Amino acid sequence: GGGVAAYFPFTDPSIELEIFFNGEWLEVLGCGVMQQQILDGNYGEGHKAWAFGLGIERLAMILFDIPDIRLFWSDDERFLKQFK
Q: What is the pLDDT of residues 23-34, one digit of tens each?
A: 888 888 899 999
Confidence of residue 59 (pLDDT cuts 50, 70, 90): confident
36 has pLDDT over 90: yes
Q: Per 3-state DSSP, what percentage of the chain is helix, strand, and coil (rounded to 5)?
A: 35, 35, 30
Cα 59 off chain centre by: 11
User: Residue 11 has what pLDDT?
Assistant: 93
Q: What is the pLDDT of residues 41-52, one digit of tens each?
A: 999 999 999 999
60 has pLDDT over 80: yes
User: Residue 25 has what pLDDT?
Assistant: 85
> What does the angle CA 17 – CA 19 – CA 23 come to, to the nearest 5 degrees?
145
